[in-house]
Amino acid sequence: MSTNSETPRKGLFGRKKKDRAPKKNGRIQQMREVFNLARKHNPASAWLMAAALVGLTLVGVLVGLLVSGGVFGTILWGISGLLAGAVLAMFMLGRYAETAAFDQMRGQAGAIGAVLNTARRGWLMDEQPIAVDPRTQEMVFRTTGRAGVVLVGEGRSRHKVTQLLEKQKRRHEKVVKGVPVHTFQGGENEGQVPMENLTKTLYKLPKRLNKAEILAVRNRLTGIGSLATRPPIPKGVDPNNIRPDRRALRGR
């Protein structure tokens, strides 16, 4: 009986090789992408970071020469200056990359939600907008923290965003009575909060809730839900053109 020589034999304890998941980008690769993003947006950023690194290193060496006067002390001060320069350069890189990311997102639908999702210090944000005007694409995003409930609107029509925010504020005040409900509009016009100042605005709000109260408010807000928790509209169905079945209403 002949065997197929092309198919490899499996041993007694042979195992089938599993498909390996693609490797994620390492930390160095991520830093490289952030650096390229910052340099593309601001070509002078690389030179400014290098100046900070070299400048603080030279300051450390100079201080070492003046204070210690010895070679060993000068080296220690130089290393301290180098580390301080590296920290400053990393801080500058983060700010340059943040500015570049904001400029890329500016004007795109959902940009305000992406910025809100970066808020820390106990803020819990819903992944999906809680309200959307399907015709004009005005949106309202929600986040909850120690300041209470914050609703942030986004859209082209300032008047329609205001109406949408007021409607959602009334709904939330009925569900979470006694909890502050703040409303803001994200944008670049007068009376609106720019993207780069949005998280700072959240942090400046007066703190009224503790961690347990924040979780309790979040549980109560599940009754309102968001677009992710509501049943989707079937494809091909326009909710503005749905008409009732009159024969069904008459019982036929």
- For the domain that residue 154 is a member of, what is the CATH number? 3.40.1350
For 105, residues 6+ apart whose C-beta sits below 8 A from its C-beta are 111, 114, 115, 195
Q: Answer whether 53's CB lies under 8 Å from 82's CB.
A: yes
Q: Indicate if 166 and 90 belong to the same structural domain.
A: no
Q: Indicate if 172 and 191 belong to the same structural domain.
A: yes
Q: Which of 151, 147, 123 is nearest to 138 (CA)?
A: 151
Q: Indicate if 149 and 216 belong to the same structural domain.
A: yes
Q: What's the mean pLDDT when you consider all of the chain?
A: 75
Phi and psi based region of residue 19 (left: phi greater than 0; alpha: psi -120 to 50; beta: remaining): beta
Q: Indicate if 131 and 71 belong to the same structural domain.
A: no
Flag whether 250 is in a domain. Answer: no
The predicted pLDDT at position 39 comes to 79
Flag whether 35 is in a domain. Answer: yes
The predicted pLDDT at position 22 comes to 46
**Residue 203 in this model has a pLDDT that exceeds 50:** yes
Flag whether 7 is in a domain. Answer: no
Of 56, 90, 105, the residue at which a domain comes to its end is: 105
Q: Indicate if 79 and 140 belong to the same structural domain.
A: no
Number of domains, the chain: 2
**Residue 171 in this model has a pLDDT that exceeds 70:** yes
Mean pLDDT of 6-30: 53
- Whether the predicted model's global pTM rises above the 0.85 cut: no
Q: Indicate if 123 and 186 belong to the same structural domain.
A: yes
Flag whether 21 is in a domain. Answer: no
Of 54, 71, 105, the residue at which a domain comes to its end is: 105
Domain that holds residue 101: 28-105
Q: Indicate if 98 and 119 belong to the same structural domain.
A: no
Q: Report residue 226's pLDDT band, with 50, 70 and 90 as the boundaries.
A: low
Q: Report residue 225's pLDDT band, with 50, 70 and 90 as the boundaries.
A: low
Give the helix/strand (H/E) hosting 113.
helix 111-116
The predicted pLDDT at position 25 comes to 57
Flag whether 178 is in a domain. Answer: yes
The 10s digit of each residue's pLDDT in 85-144 is 999 988 888 888 777 777 767 766 667 777 777 777 778 888 788 888 877 778 898 988
> Which residue do the tokens 């091909």 mark?
236
For 172, residues 6+ apart whose C-beta sits below 8 A from its C-beta are 149, 151, 181, 221, 224
Of 46, 72, 105, the residue at which a domain comes to its end is: 105
Percent of the chain with pLDDT over 70: 75
Flag whether 68 is in a domain. Answer: yes
Choose from 5-19, 32-46, 136-150 the range with maximum mean pLDDT.
136-150
The predicted pLDDT at position 107 comes to 65
Q: Indicate if 134 and 205 belong to the same structural domain.
A: yes
Flag whether 152 is in a domain. Answer: yes
Mean pLDDT of 192-216: 85
**Residue 177 in this model has a pLDDT that exceeds 80:** yes
Q: Indicate if 57 and 155 belong to the same structural domain.
A: no
Q: Indicate if 76 and 100 belong to the same structural domain.
A: yes
Q: Indicate if 95 and 187 belong to the same structural domain.
A: no
Is the torsion defined by CA of 42, 43, 48, 50 positive or negative? positive
Q: Give the bridge partners for 27, in sequence order.
A: none
Q: Indicate if 97 and 141 belong to the same structural domain.
A: no
What tokens appear for 42 in the block?
Answer: 């601001």
> Which residue do the tokens 């300051």 mark?
59
Flag whether 252 is in a domain. Answer: no
